[in-house]
């Protein structure tokens, strides 16, 4: 979340940047500043009364030592009034702080100055395109038909066991999944990311700290009896490892990777664009997370983008990079690049990765700080990226590499799969 002090000191700039995300609730910003004024007034009044109470206590002690018991008792009788006043102010302060928090979490992160204007995905900026789109002699077969033809993923069996959006991977399909996971983890390790294995359920504090709550509660699966949430991405548990932690500056950059299954309700998702593996409720993903000094975070996001592009190049997949416009960005992001792979059979681009810089939006909730060179306690910047999400990568590999003799496996994956063709 944004810092109240920053909103106060840069109100006009905050409103200007928020307008890029199509946020125009000036009244909310005004109410946040007013509540902060009220918070400060109550705190000052409470401090003043506490100071009077302390002075009175010292005076009582002095009078008692001088044998002036009656005068001391007279002052002492007023101390209960001080206590009641402080108690009332403390209760009021708690109410104001709670209301202030409830309002400030409704304000999205400020978009970076490079974020283009726009309201829909059509307004996203194409940064670059790489690779050649495959051309077939005959009509390319969509991956959902290839899954059945080669018996590698059973969508209907998943419906039987759980429901739509929970596929069952079989034989070479399961091997391909495992190969991709291991390849992505090995590549991340070579890049300097420390591999973690983390819980796939988190508590409410963790979901709040990374910004899933209160913005995305409708997209997460909730375990009612235990008050836990199934993770939508490993970003949530990995980043929360540093909640309420003061890190040492020499630890930067903090780089982690983690493979987890991910769970998303994707409420309201219907139509041809979600067929097959295009959109699932459960899917596998390798996630990258970094914590860095503020002055380095925009250099780091470019490095992360380049690294993810390198994975797509090794998989021999044509892709493009988009800089998301204000209207298509997440609530918490300051800058997001999407990587999309071209699907030959569907004849459209499929998002396979997002890499985002959250600046201090998450770290302010997490309270993850460090001492800078001047010895000042400073919030770190947090970033994450998919490297990569598997379903649409699998779909693109199947569709783009289909031949008359089966589906060709990218060379870089053959040591992991143990086979060169799915047939």
Strand partners, 291: 254, 382
Contacts of residue 209, defined as CB under 8 A and 6 or more positions apart, other chains included, come to 239, 240, 243, 362, 365, 366
253 to each of 287, 325, 358, how far by Cα in Å? 16, 28, 15
Contact at 8 Å (CB) between 153 and 277?
Answer: yes
Q: Binding site, residues? A: 233, 264-266, 287, 351-354, 384
Going 393 to 396 to 400 to 404, the CA torsion angle's sign is: positive
Q: Half-sphere exposure of residue 300, counting CA atoms within 13 Å on the CB side?
A: 24
Q: At a CB cut-off of 8 Å and minimum separation 6, what does 309 contact?
A: 130, 319, 321, 339
Paired tokens of 389: 């999400």
Q: Which of 234, 117, 241 is nearest to 181 (CA)?
A: 234
Find out whether 134 and 343 touch, Cβ atoms under 8 Å.
no
Annotated binding site for ATP: 264-266, 351-354
Burial class (CB in 10 A: 0-12, 13-18, 19+), 97: middle
| Residues of each annotated binding site for L-serine | 233, 264, 287, 384
């Amino acid at each position: 979340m944004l810092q109240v002090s920053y909103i106060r000191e840069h109100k006009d700039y905050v409103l200007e940047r928020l307008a890029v995300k199509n946020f125009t609730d000036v009244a909310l910003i005004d109410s946040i500043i007013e509540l902060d004024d009220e918070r400060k007034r109550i705190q000052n009044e409470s401090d003043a009364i506490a100071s009077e109470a302390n002075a009175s206590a010292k005076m009582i002690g002095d009078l008692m030592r001088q044998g002036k018991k009656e005068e001391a008792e007279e002052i002492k009788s007023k101390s209960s009034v001080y206590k009641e006043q402080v108690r009332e102010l403390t209760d009021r302060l708690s109410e104001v702080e709670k209301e202030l928090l409830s309002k400030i979490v409704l304000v999205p992160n400020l978009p970076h100055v490079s974020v283009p204007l726009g309201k829909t995905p059509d307004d996203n900026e194409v940064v670059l395109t790489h690779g050649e789109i495959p051309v077939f002699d005959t009509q390319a077969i969509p991956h959902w038909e290839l899954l059945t033809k080669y018996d590698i993923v059973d969508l209907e069996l998943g419906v039987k066991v759980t429901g739509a959006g929970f596929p069952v991977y079989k034989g070479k399909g399961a091997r391909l999944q495992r190969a991709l996971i291991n390849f992505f983890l090995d590549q991340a390790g070579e890049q300097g990311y420390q591999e973690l294995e983390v819980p796939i359920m988190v508590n409410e504090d963790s979901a709040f700290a990374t910004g899933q709550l209160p913005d995305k509660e409708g997209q997460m699966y909730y375990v009612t009896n235990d008050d836990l949430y199934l993770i939508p991405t490993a970003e949530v548990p990995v980043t929360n490892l540093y909640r309420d932690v003061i890190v040492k500056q020499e630890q930067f950059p903090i780089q982690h990777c983690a493979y987890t299954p991910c769970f998303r309700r994707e409420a309201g998702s219907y139509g041809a664009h979600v067929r097959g593996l295009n959109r699932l409720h459960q899917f596998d993903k390798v996630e990258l997370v970094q914590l860095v000094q503020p002055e380095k975070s925009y250099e780091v996001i470019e490095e992360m983008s380049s690294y993810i592009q390198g994975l797509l190049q090794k998989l021999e997949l044509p892709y493009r990079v988009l800089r998301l416009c204000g209207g298509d960005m997440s609530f918490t992001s300051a800058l997001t690049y999407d990587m999309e792979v071209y699907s030959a059979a569907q004849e459209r681009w499929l998002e396979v990765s997002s890499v985002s810089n959250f600046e201090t939006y998450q770290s302010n909730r997490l309270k993850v700080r460090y001492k800078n060179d001047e010895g000042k306690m400073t919030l770190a910047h947090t970033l994450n990226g998919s490297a990569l999400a598997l379903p649409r990568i699998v779909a693109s590999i199947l569709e783009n590499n289909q031949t008359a003799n089966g589906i060709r496996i990218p060379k870089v994956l053959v040591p992991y799969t143990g086979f060169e063709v799915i047939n």
